[in-house]
Amino acid sequence: MEKNIVIIALFAALIAALGLVPKFTLASGIPITAQSMGIMLCGTVLGSRRGAQAVLLFLLLVAIGLPLLAGGRGGLGVFGTPWAGFLFGFPFAAFAAGLIMERWRSDNIPLVAGCAAAIGGIAALYAVAVPYYMVAVSAGLDQALVTAMLPFMPGDILKAILAGYITAGLAKARPDSLLSRA
Amino acid sequence: MLSLISPVKSPYHKVPPGPKFFLLMVASILLFLNGNLYFQASALVVVLGLYLVPGMAFFTAGLRMLWPLWPFVVIVFLWHTLTFDIVSGLVIIMRMFSAVALANLVTMTSQLDDVIALVTRVATPFRRFGLKPKVLALLIALFIRFLPVLIEKGNLLVESWRSRSTRRAGWRVVVPLALLALDDAEMVAEALRARGGLEPDEV
């Protein structure tokens, strides 16, 4: 029981740390935020329920005013933009990624975790974020896809692949640590 | 840890967070429901006026917190220029600034412990759905304690990577960082248990 609570708190802190440690850059030198990768990892490592709970805790602390989002943003204001659907979609993303890790056990971990991260961190996330954007600015689907989805897509695909490798790395180093497969 | 609370004292600091959150909710709904250009423009002027009440230093601090919105302004503006619908683009941009600025105002003038107390109070009715206020308080405390620890460890990992390699530390650092978090969780959970842990009915 204590273990559940502690690991949820620590993975919520990990999401924040991934957004605040500023030195993560791609091979090409383009700085990207690893924060949404943290969301994917919560799902693939902790599983559906605990993963979503860790993300909810993170969002709660953002909302009450800690500057935890990448670039030091935070507070209630970040939920006021038409792009806030991404934040509201985060728990669903982690939940979906965790669910896939829990159910799909027949293949190797990098493949399954990568797919789980992609389906959770991209499909489930955009399924919340795009409609939210459409309602928030009363936009059509074409506008929403161009202005809310396209700019983030390449980074998210890359992060899903990396999340797969990272999850596999964790499974190798601490075989019992993948609670999603426990 | 860094916080977003303004060091400049304002009349808003004295208002308890409950009413402030309620007013913010009402104002956000009104902003969202009204699509009139003049309404949104006057709302934005009122909001900026609210920032001027405590003085210039507070006003500029508030503007600085709005700066991260610029990429969104560019995207919305580009789209609406290309589709010849500048008026609704302006409405969206002004609505976004008012909503975000009002929410920031609440954040800038509310003490963290007051807000945590409010959250715990609001969470109390949810205890039958498994959200125990005591557990929530423990989660928040653990988070706030461990965030600086993880950031410190992340920076150390990046530095030790640099001392071994001419290339930049990339995503590979995330694996050891997450491992450290997993190991810490194991030990902290054990320490909590050793000190009596949580009572079963609290979890």
Tell me the C-alpha distance between A26 and A146, whole Å.
Answer: 24
- Expressed as residue numbers, the domain containing A135 is 2-180
Do B28 and B89 belong together in one domain? yes
Q: Do residues A57 and B190 touch, judged by C-beta distance below 8 A?
A: no
Helical H segments across chain B, by residue range: 17-33, 37-52, 56-66, 70-82, 86-108, 112-123, 133-164, 174-194
Number of structural domains (chain B) is: 2
Quote the pLDDT of residue B2: 59
**Cβ contact (<8 Å) for B2 and A67?**
yes
Each residue of A79-98: pLDDT tens digit?
Answer: 888 888 889 999 999 999 99
Do B144 and B88 belong together in one domain? no
Each residue of B140-196: pLDDT tens digit?
Answer: 888 988 888 888 898 888 888 888 988 777 778 889 999 999 999 989 988 988 888
Number of structural domains (chain A) is: 1
CB-defined contacts A:B, below 8 A: 197
CA distance A152 to chain B (A): 13
Give the CATH number of the domain where residue A136 resides: 1.10.1760.20
Contacts of A79 in chain B (CB under 8 A): 103
Do B101 and B136 belong together in one domain? no
The amino acid sitting at B193 is R
Q: Do residues A123 and A51 touch, judged by C-beta distance below 8 A?
A: no
Instruction: Evaluate whether residue B71 is within a structural domain.
Output: yes
Do B65 and B99 belong together in one domain? yes
Instruction: Evaluate whether residue B118 is within a structural domain.
Output: no
Is the CB of B147 inside 8 Å of chain A's CB atoms? yes
Do B164 and B78 belong together in one domain? no
Tell me the C-alpha distance between A13 and A19, whole Å.
Answer: 10
Q: Do residues A23 and B168 touch, judged by C-beta distance below 8 A?
A: yes
Last residue of a domain, one of B83, B110, B137: B110
Instruction: Evaluate whether residue B99 is within a structural domain.
Output: yes
Q: What tokens appear for B2 in the block?
A: 């860094």
Q: Do residues A91 and A52 touch, judged by C-beta distance below 8 A?
A: yes
The amino acid sitting at B105 is L
Do B133 and B191 belong together in one domain? yes
CA distance A2 to chain B (A): 5
Q: What is the percentage of chain B residues whose pLDDT exceeds 90? A: 12
Contacts of A180 in chain B (CB under 8 A): none
**Cβ contact (<8 Å) for B4 and A74?**
yes
Last residue of a domain, one of B54, B82, B110: B110
Is the CB of B79 inside 8 Å of chain A's CB atoms? yes
Instruction: Evaluate whether residue B124 is within a structural domain.
Output: no
Quote the pLDDT of residue A24: 53
**Cβ contact (<8 Å) for A2 and B192?**
yes
Quote the pLDDT of residue A154: 82
Indicate if the pLDDT at residue B135 is higher than 90.
no
Contacts of B68 in chain A (CB under 8 A): 71, 73
Contacts of A4 in chain B (CB under 8 A): 203
H or E element, residue B166: none
Each residue of A101-137: pLDDT tens digit?
Answer: 998 888 888 889 999 999 999 999 999 999 998 888 8
Distance (Å) of CA B63 to CA B58, B88, B94: 9, 23, 14
Do B33 and B97 belong together in one domain? yes
Q: Do residues A176 and A45 touch, judged by C-beta distance below 8 A?
A: no
Do B29 and B94 belong together in one domain? yes
Among chain B residues, the shortest Cα distance to A179 is held by B182
Q: What is the ipTM of this complex?
A: 0.86
Instruction: Evaluate whether residue B32 is within a structural domain.
Output: yes
Do B104 and B157 belong together in one domain? no
Burial class (CB in 10 A: 0-12, 13-18, 19+), B26: exposed
- Expressed as residue numbers, the domain containing B184 is 129-202
